[in-house]
């Protein structure tokens, strides 16, 4: 153990205060047996040795390397601070979505809460990650758990690639994503993650603005939370009835014909839209009543959607993103999977996608009208 005192060794065995956890060892050092091994706390005074022991005791009794032993070692807090700084730069440069940045922030809060801010990263082991997984499994089902385990590994893998640690911690066999069969059974138990036509119409009729326009974009074009939260004014051609907006997650270009109902809802919203307070948000279509964009910072869209689903009695484990599932499911029945994929902005490993330069507007319109006829059969 490190000896932090520079005092000369005493000429005789010093007196041990009554009740002290330390004893004077024959080697001329204060010591204590912890977890089956002798630990030493210097040759100085008893008070100096006791102070050192008290600083290191939580780590030693837990079987960890004390922070004092290597003051320059990377701690969990330092790792998270450096990781989030790097991700903030990516977000500001448009390389990372605001929603993903927020989720990484939640991951770091959880790591600090579970491991301790001063815990040395190199000292983390399988038992620590098993404990973390157990904590997460108490709150989430297997689908969310899989995503959170993957995200929780990311800061450590980033630190290794960035040269902050020699190698990632040993996560162990327990800290792994749930098996595919477990996820399939969980999804089956929760029911389909889509809305039926009557439910969707009821949501559109009940929702106020801008949620009504957002829902129509969701079912008309397969837009998700991030899409409606960031779609710029420049992407809309309301006169022509089109929206051209690449998918934020993949960067894949998308082009979607807008229904008359969607155009009307967007025009209605634009007439009452409050201009954003910050110039950098001036081009965003959807703003809150406070003049802020509907991005992941406040999770405003998810909150408002939950309230709407409760009002219309749309039961089940569904949310705004289920509109995207609905468009895909109904759009596939049109038979033109390539046109559906173009509207959805999905990536594909099909080599033909490398050579396919466009999908005709006529094909996109046929898919769009097929979904519209499902939703509004009377029209």
Phi and psi dihedrals of 255, rounded to 5? Answer: -140, 130
Asked whether residue 234 falls in the same domain as residue 362, the answer is: yes
Phi and psi dihedrals of 141, rounded to 5? Answer: -80, 175
Which residues are within 8 A (CB) of 361 and not within 5 positions of it... i.e. 6 or more apart?
255, 257
Residue owning tokens 């330069």: 357
Per-residue pLDDT at 3: 44
Could you tell me which of 26, 56, 59 has the C-alpha nearest to residue 43?
Answer: 26
Which pLDDT tens digit goes with each residue over 39-66? Answer: 888 888 898 889 888 888 888 888 777 7
Distance CA 241, CA 45 (A): 82
Asked whether residue 107 falls in the same domain as residue 61, the answer is: no
CATH number at residue 326: 1.10.443.10
- Specify the pTM: 0.66
Which pLDDT tens digit goes with each residue over 262-299? Answer: 999 999 999 998 887 777 778 889 988 777 777 644 46
Asked whether residue 264 falls in the same domain as residue 369, the answer is: yes
What is the domain extent for residue 121?
76-190
Strands (DSSP E) contained in 2-41 are 23-24, 30-34, 37-40
Mean pLDDT of 302-314: 91
Per-residue pLDDT at 2: 44
Asked whether residue 56 falls in the same domain as residue 154, the answer is: no
CATH number at residue 122: 1.10.150
Q: Which two tokens stand for residue 313?
A: 């009695």
Q: What confidence tier does 378 reach under pLDDT thresholds 50, 70, 90?
A: confident
Asked whether residue 225 falls in the same domain as residue 337, the answer is: yes
**Number of independent structural domains in the chain:** 3
Of the residues 190, 208, 234, the one at which a domain ends: 190
Distance CA 359, CA 242 (A): 14
Residue owning tokens 């939580």: 58
Mark out the alpha helices in the chain (DSSP H runs).
46-61, 76-92, 98-115, 126-139, 142-161, 180-190, 197-206, 211-221, 225-230, 260-272, 300-311, 322-332, 337-344, 352-355, 361-375
**What angle in degrees, to the nearest 10, is found between the helix axes of 361-375 and 197-206?**
90
């Amino acid at each position: 153990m490190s000896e932090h005192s520079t005092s000369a060794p005493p000429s005789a065995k010093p007196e041990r205060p009554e009740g002290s956890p330390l004893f004077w060892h024959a080697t001329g050092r204060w010591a204590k047996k912890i977890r089956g091994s002798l630990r030493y706390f210097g040759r100085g005074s008893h008070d100096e040795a006791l102070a050192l022991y008290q600083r290191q005791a939580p780590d030693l009794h837990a079987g960890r390397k004390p922070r004092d032993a290597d003051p320059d070692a990377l701690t969990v807090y330092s790792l998270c601070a450096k990781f989030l700084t790097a991700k903030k730069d990516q977000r500001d440069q448009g390389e990372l979505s605001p929603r993903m940045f927020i989720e990484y922030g939640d991951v770091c809060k959880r790591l600090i809460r579970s491991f301790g801010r001063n815990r040395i990263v190199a000292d983390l082991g399988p038992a620590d990650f098993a404990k973390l997984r157990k904590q997460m499994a108490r709150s989430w089902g297997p689908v969310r758990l899989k995503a959170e385990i993957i995200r929780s590994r990311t800061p450590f893998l980033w630190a290794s690639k960035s040269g902050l640690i020699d190698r990632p911690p040993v996560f162990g066999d327990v800290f792994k994503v749930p098996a595919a069969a477990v996820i399939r059974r969980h999804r089956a138990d929760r029911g389909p993650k889509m809305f039926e036509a009557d439910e969707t119409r009821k949501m559109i009729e009940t929702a106020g603005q801008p949620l009504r326009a957002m829902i129509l974009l969701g079912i008309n074009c397969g837009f998700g939370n991030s899409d409606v939260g960031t779609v710029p004014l420049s992407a809309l051609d309301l006169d022509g009835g089109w929206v051209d907006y690449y998918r934020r997650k993949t960067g894949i270009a998308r082009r979607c014909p807008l229904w008359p109902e969607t155009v009307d809802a967007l025009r209605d919203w634009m007439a009452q839209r409050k201009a954003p307070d910050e110039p950098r948000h001036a081009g965003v279509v959807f703003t809150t009543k406070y003049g802020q964009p509907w991005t992941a910072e406040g999770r405003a869209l998810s909150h408002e959607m939950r309230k709407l689903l409760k009002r219309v009695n749309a039961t089940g484990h569904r949310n705004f993103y289920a509109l995207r599932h609905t468009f895909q499911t109904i759009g596939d029945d049109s038979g033109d999977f390539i046109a559906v994929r173009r509207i959805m902005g999905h990536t594909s490993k099909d080599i033909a996608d490398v050579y396919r330069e466009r999908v005709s507007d006529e094909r996109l319109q046929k898919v769009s009208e097929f979904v519209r006829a499902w939703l509004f059969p009377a029209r």
